[in-house]
Amino acid sequence: MTRKIIIDTDPGQDDAVAILLALASPELEVLGITCVAGNVPLALTSLNARKVCELAGRPDVKVFAGCEAPLMRPLVTAEHVHGKTGLDGVELPAPQMPLQQAHAVDFLIETLRSEPAGSVTLCPLGPLTNIALALRKAPDIAGRVQEIVLMGGAYFEVGNITPAAEFNIYVDPEAADIVFRSGISITLMPLDLTHKALVTAGRVAAFRALGNRVGEVVAGWTDFFERFDKAKYGSEGAPLHDPTVIGWLLAPGLYSGRHINVEIETRSDLTRGMTVADWWGVTARAPNATFMGEIDAEGFFALLTERLARL
């Protein structure tokens, strides 16, 4: 049986690879892609998502534009990592497929209400604005989501956009707070995990050696956005954050983590957007999320490469 998912995203090269991985995987049925402002503004994320669907040969996928800005704050973007377009590194043709008319938040609500309860998984790969707004507008959908598997947060690795906060949570901490208090089952892929899935030179070479257009493009993207993290961390490769969400849906045995309490700092100017994770169980706060900590990087990249070869 296939698993129904909605990918909520701000592409971003790593978001793009996550979308490709999902579209290459017969175990998953992508009901729609909802775009949000994040790495770059909404006009670009909703354009990029369609370019990626067309690259995958899937112009039939429904792509929706959602929120242009976080719930309560001005947008913070990450062109310093992803380039001006969000997908710098390879130029893709302008998409022919249309953007859907409906707002992403309405699509989320309508889909969760019309599909059988407990049958749709949400996969947020950017700031949580669309998901939080949907929960605010339609609190009944919380009980209908199968689970949320998201990329965001950090504990031992602390921040990548501030010393304390990971980008997706930092951009819209109020939205993240709504999601983490929603009672929905949450699994998160924090920096602690994604920093163990580095795109080394050998792994980029394996993408390039696939011999298809997708392999060339993914190698071009990873070459581009790697330069930032390699310089920053002095590591042999950069993390490929967002595909770890889809990887977990396909092969959860490659991952391990802890079911713990995770709360979002929204008030402090210094640590806003921090995921305060009770990894050591030092509070009596109820667990609300599975916080992943380890990944079998070899297994993950083997899976990713094998799937991209199918496109």
Size of the site for Ca ion (CB under 5 A): 6
Q: Where are the alpha helices (DSSP H) in the chain?
A: 13-23, 42-55, 79-82, 104-114, 129-137, 167-171, 173-180, 191-194, 201-208, 213-233, 243-250, 297-308
Burial class (CB in 10 A: 0-12, 13-18, 19+), 273: buried
Which residue matches tokens 């998409």?
Answer: 95
Contact 18, 242 (CB under 8 A): yes
Token pair listed for 7: 């990918």
Give 64's strand partners.
34
Residue in the block written with tokens 């950017």? 126
Least gap, CB of 283 to ligand BDR (angstroms): 25
HSE, side-chain direction, 13 A CA sphere, residue 227 = 12
CA-based diameter of the chain, in Å? Answer: 53
Which is nearer to ligand BDR, 25 or 48 (by Cβ)?
48
The site partner of 81 among Ca ion, ligand BDR, none (C-beta below 5 to 8 Å per kind) is ligand BDR
Q: Are the beta carbons of 227 and 201 closer than 8 angstroms?
A: no
Residue 42 beta carbon to ligand BDR: minimum distance, rounded to whole angstroms? 15
| Interface with Ca ion, residue 198, by CB under 5 A | no
Q: What x-and-dash track marks residues 114-153 binding Ca ion by CB under 5 A?
A: -----------xx---------------------------
Binding mask 171-190 for ligand BDR (x = CB under 6 A): --------------------
Residue 160 binding result from Ca ion, ligand BDR, none, given CB thresholds of 5 to 8 Å by partner type: ligand BDR
* The one-letter amino acid at 158: V
Establish whether 82 is a catalytic residue: no
Instruction: Using CB under 6 A, pick the residue from 106, 229, 242, 278 that binds ligand BDR.
Output: 242
223: partner contacted, choices Ca ion, ligand BDR, none (Cβ within 5-8 A by kind): none
Q: How far is the CB of 128 from ligand BDR (least distance, A)?
A: 11
Shortest gap between Cβ of 126 and ligand BDR (angstroms)? 6
Which two tokens mark 41? 């503004």
| 39 vs 111, beta carbon nearer ligand BDR | 39
What residue ranges bind Ca ion (CB under 5 A)?
Answer: 10, 12, 15, 125-126, 242
What residue ranges bind ligand BDR (CB under 6 A)?
Answer: 12, 14-15, 39, 78, 81, 125-126, 151, 160, 166-168, 241-242
Q: Give me the active site residues, please.
A: 241
